[in-house]
Structure 1
């Protein structure tokens, strides 16, 4: 075959490829091939907290469903802002995602004056994943109260004496405690930490007195006899612990509710086909009997849905916690 015929053959092949690309846009071809490489899942908190627990349970199964490894990457700092901003500034190709939660997507934007991103403008909501039941626990060696009502009475008799920890200023843990203070007309000392892991160690050691935090993490310590639980934060008792009253009923605070949530998001502009692929994969994985059981055991109630549902939910949460922050004067630098 002559050089001329070789060149002609290559020209025909290039023309055919060009026609194929013309029939299928580049972004569609990329979406059809997604994912073609490992996906980095940013957890914007330290290991040990509820977001990290969810990632460790779901990531292996999600990777298997998608046919690619899911690499969990903890990037803690600034109440989750550092890790979440990293994703907001990443390419919108679906290979860098974030596990957001009520703090990073619903609270930080309304309490931080210079929060570097708008979750509805700089991120693409993919799906809400779980609701996180909260409990109120105390160090039994430091706090004499064994019911939420006893705790309120003690706090009123010793204003400022009780300290509560949180994973950072503006975290759900702080907001829950601030709401509790407002509803009970008590005053306590806020001690912020950089993550739940260090906080839990100090709580067990007695360096802080109490915390509102996720059920899964805290109940492990309660079962070990290191902490005492005074109530659950939802409006109803949880099936796993039917004998534990709600804080609302135990402290006489009708309507008091502190629960958290998590959700998966990517950078703004994520292709619709990629969002759809990820959404369906998460919903399928969370419907698995074994995965669901492990999540429930960790205090994480599966609650996945559509991207549109998650977007609306984030919007509603921003309004809700914006009002709470404004009413209680909760601000962060």
Structure 2
């Protein structure tokens, strides 16, 4: 945010960029005022709701019913406080009327290991992280948090189809930003180069292999996307009972 606005210093960041304003009371920057959106690079549509195979629930309705029982002591894992996985689970918890206990871990790897080992029973995972463990049978997928089914898991229903609440929080996205006072001509040149790169088949294929949708979208579309996402994350944190630190 405080770099020289000459186009030589750029920020490529994830969805945490729009989560942070909802989680932290005092940030050393303003996500809207201090940055110029350049391009929405890629996205992953929704999280996958998974459980440890030992959980007796075979579908979302059964999981909700189980989690509502006081004696069930169902817990859900996340990579820590204040990320899309945490907010998705907290929002699901609130909308479903369950009282699953949040267990934050230090990073995605530790959280994934915990749910696979049965230390926690439930987690919302990104496709990139979750698919290998789902395919190997170490996790069971109950629902996909998106309006339509995932092409890579066509047998798994959406949360709405399965009788659960949708959160519609993007599982993952990455975008490029520049310091806010970067000259418009410089921003336009960078944006043009990014968009050109995303027309290359090898670039698009690389993102797709990672379970990401290649976009390389224009700044005119990315700017309102960021503003809307910040508002949505704030609302998710409020409904999910996640207090800013």
Q: TM-score, normalised by structure 1?
A: 0.67
Which secondary structure does the structure 2 equivalent of 1:318 belong to? helix
What does the per-residue CA deviation read over 1:276-297, in whole Å, with 9 as the maximum and x for residues that have no partner?
Answer: 2332232222332233233223
Shift of 1:158: 4.1
**In structure 2, do the counterparts of structure 1 residues 233 and 276 end up closer, same or farther at CA, with 3 Å as the change threshold?**
same
**In structure 2, do the counterparts of structure 1 residues 158 and 219 end up closer, same or farther at CA, with 3 Å as the change threshold?**
farther
Q: 1:204 aligns with which of 73, 97, 116?
A: 116
**In structure 2, do the counterparts of structure 1 residues 184 and 116 end up closer, same or farther at CA, with 3 Å as the change threshold?**
same
Please say if 1:100 is aligned against 2:13: yes
Q: 2:168 aligns with which of 257, 262, 268?
A: 257
Shift of 1:204: 2.3
The CA RMSD over aligned residues, in Å, is 2.1
Which secondary structure does the structure 1 equivalent of 2:198 belong to? helix
User: Equivalent residue for 1:40?
Assistant: none
Query: After superposition, where does 1:1-333 map in structure 2 within 5 Å?
Result: 88-104=1-17, 106-133=18-45, 134-141=47-54, 143-158=55-70, 161-253=73-165, 256-260=167-171, 261-333=173-245
Query: Higher relative contact order by CA 8 Å / sep ≥ 6: 1 or 2?
Result: 2
Which secondary structure does the structure 2 equivalent of 1:287 belong to? coil
CA contact (8 A) 2:93 2:240 kept: no
Shift of 1:93: 3.3
Shift of 1:221: 1.3
Give ranges in structure 1 of 5+ residues lacking alignment: 1-87
C-alpha distance in structure 2 between counterparts of 1:256 and 1:154, whole Å? 20
Q: TM-score, normalised by structure 2?
A: 0.89
**In structure 2, do the counterparts of structure 1 residues 197 and 268 end up closer, same or farther at CA, with 3 Å as the change threshold?**
farther
**In structure 2, do the counterparts of structure 1 residues 188 and 310 end up closer, same or farther at CA, with 3 Å as the change threshold?**
same
What does the per-residue CA deviation read over 1:292-315, in whole Å, with 9 as the maximum and x for residues that have no partner?
Answer: 233223221123321122111111
CA contact (8 A) 1:160 1:188 kept: no
What does the per-residue CA deviation read over 1:47-73, in whole Å, with 9 as the maximum and x for residues that have no partner?
Answer: xxxxxxxxxxxxxxxxxxxxxxxxxxx
C-alpha distance in structure 1 between counterparts of 2:207 and 2:71, whole Å? 38
**In structure 2, do the counterparts of structure 1 residues 99 and 207 end up closer, same or farther at CA, with 3 Å as the change threshold?**
farther
CA contact (8 A) 2:96 2:164 kept: no
Shift of 1:138: 1.6
Which secondary structure does the structure 2 equivalent of 1:239 belong to? coil
Which secondary structure does the structure 2 equivalent of 1:204 belong to? helix
Which secondary structure does the structure 1 equivalent of 2:50 belong to? strand
What does the per-residue CA deviation read over 1:117-147, in whole Å, with 9 as the maximum and x for residues that have no partner?
Answer: 2111122211111221321112213x22232
The size of the alignment, in residue pairs, is 243
CA contact (8 A) 1:109 1:117 kept: no
Shift of 1:243: 1.4
User: Equivalent residue for 1:60?
Assistant: none
What does the per-residue CA deviation read over 1:197-248, in whole Å, with 9 as the maximum and x for residues that have no partner?
Answer: 2222323233222211211211111112221111111111122222111012
C-alpha distance in structure 1 between counterparts of 2:167 and 2:25, whole Å? 27
